[in-house]
Each structure stands twice: as structure tokens, then as C-alpha cells.
Amino acid sequence: MTSRAVIFGGSGQLGSELKASLPAAWTCEAPARVQLDIAAADSDLLTSELRRLGPEAVINAAAYTAVDLAESEPEQAHLVNAVAPANLARVCADLDIRLIHISTDFVFDGTADQPYLPEHECNPIGVYGASKLAGERAVMAAHPEAIIIRTSWLYSRFGANFVKTMLRLMAERESLAVVADQVGTPTWAAGLAQAAWSAAEHPGLHGIYHWSDNGACSWYDFAVAIRDEALDLGLLTRAVEIKPIPGTDYPTPAARPAYSVLDKNSSWRDLEVPAVPWRQQLQRMLLDLQEHKND
């Protein structure tokens, strides 16, 4: 029997990987934003559209992710990351549709010294994190059977991200300086997509889960790994010097958590998706990028 899903944010990194990794037992619809913008749609329109599409599950990968711009656009960030998910959650609850909502490590303040558990106290330090936390709370209040998946440092062959930016800069420059005192875990969006599909296939699960790849590194460590793996694959022709710098040398409008490693043990157990080291996932993504370089 085939199940149907609706993906919001289908043109983004995760949405693209969700469509690329569609399980055999599923079909999906991914309405373009111009067709159905959940930040602009009222409950009646959402209800009508979801009744028409008839999904068993909705995966909400739509988000306002411009972390720095959010500091000057708090209302827009709150609309997309909190108000829209709340409305979607109410409609999904009314229609008895499973909801998987994607959130972020930015709900934490980064002061921990060990990986954050899903139940750890949240304390966002910027507008983006605050808007995502408000969305989490609104989703769970409206749809207690929903699943929220927090993730971190997302990248893919699709869209704009740190890996692709580093590859471009390494091809253009003789040296780079990268922040070395912010620690987290990179996440290949293809692995997150696998976790989200597993969440859709486990209707008995609900609540908050964490998903990133296994291990931890700084942005500097990540950049060095990108360079070295890209050299091995021939994606780069020379080894660019990468200099570690403190975050204070690279000021941004929004503060970043100094430590945002997520504890994924409950996800690996309940979602039955294996842990994969972040560097191994980076290798897979770069191979994927190489194979699709002419797309």
C-alpha cells in the first residue's frame, strides 16, 4: 500500500533531498511557494489543500534561515518560523495528519560542555533561534502527536551552504581564515531526509528528536576536511592554506552558539537510522556533488 506525503520547503536543501530519497512505499507532493505559501495561507486554504492532496504525513522543511538578517527582520522570522508552523500544526491535527517539523540547534545557548539532549533547557541567543523555539512550542501545543527534529550545520549538493561556499573560495583564493572556537556537528541533508522519512513511517513516535551526523568538529576542522576530501576527489587542484581564528575576529549581526553538539541516541534507537560519522557523510556528499556537477 502506498502512502502519500506533502513536503513544504521542497526547493530547499532538505526538501530536495527528501524528494531525491523518496521511499518506494511513498509518493509525495511538494507545492512550490508560489502555489501554497504556508506563511501566507490561512487555515481554510491549508485545510482545503491538504484535504485535496490527502497525505498521511506532512514534512515541514520550510523556514526562515537567514540567521543574521533575522536580527533586523524579527517579524518576518517569527511569521515563517512560528506563526506558519502553528497554523500548519492545527490543520494537521484537525485532519489527523502526521506532522514532522524541522527545527535547529540554535534553540540552545551553546554554554553546555556535553551534547544537548532533546529535553535540555532551551535558551536561544538570537532572533532566529527564538523564532524556531516559538515554532516548536506552538507545534507541540497544537499537535501533541507531531515529531520535531532539531538539526545542525546542514549542507547538500542542493542550494547554498558552507561546503559549497568553501569549495568556491578555495578555488579562488590562496588562503582562508575560518572560525575555530564554535563547535557542532555537520549534517548531510540526505541523512536528515532519511531520518525524516523514518519518522513518517513510525506513527507511534512523537515529541522532540535530534538529528545530525556522528561526532563533532569546529568550523575550522570542517573546512580542513572539505579541502582534503575535495583534493582526493579532484574537486580542488591545490591545497589552500586555512588559518584558524576566534569568532571575535569574524563578527556577525547574530551571535552563534559556541557549542551546539546534539545528543542523537534516542533518534538512532527510535528512528532506527544508523549513526554515520560526519566526515564519512562529507565524503558521500562530495561524491554526489561530483556526479551531478553538470546538472
Q: Per DSSP, what are the bridge partners of residue 59?
A: 7, 100
Mean pLDDT of 239-245: 97
Report the share of the chain in percent with pLDDT over 90: 95
Q: Is the pTM of this model over 0.85?
A: yes
Mean pLDDT of the chain: 96
- When pLDDT is cut at 50, 70 and 90, the band that residue 33 belongs to is confident
Determine contact, residues 207/148, Cβ cutoff 8 Å.
yes
What CA–CA distance (Å, rounded) separates 30 from 22? Answer: 12
DSSP letter at 83?
I
State the pLDDT at residue 113: 93
pLDDT beyond 90 at 180 = yes
C-alpha cell at position 173? 583564493
Let me know if 73 is exposed, middle or buried by CB neighbors in 10 A (0-12, 13-18, 19+): middle
Determine contact, residues 106/128, Cβ cutoff 8 Å.
yes
pLDDT beyond 80 at 295 = no
Judged by phi (left if over 0) then psi (alpha if -120 to 50, else beta), residue 234 lies in left
For 8, the 3-state DSSP assignment is strand
Determine contact, residues 261/213, Cβ cutoff 8 Å.
no
For 43, the 3-state DSSP assignment is helix
Residues with catalytic function: 128
State the pLDDT at residue 201: 95
Beta-strand pair 3-8/26-29: parallel
Mean pLDDT of 236-249: 96
DSSP letter at 238?
S
pLDDT beyond 90 at 35 = no
What CA–CA distance (Å, rounded) separates 124 from 108? Answer: 5
HSE at residue 183, side-chain half, CA atoms within 13 A, is: 14
What CA–CA distance (Å, rounded) separates 250 from 253? Answer: 10
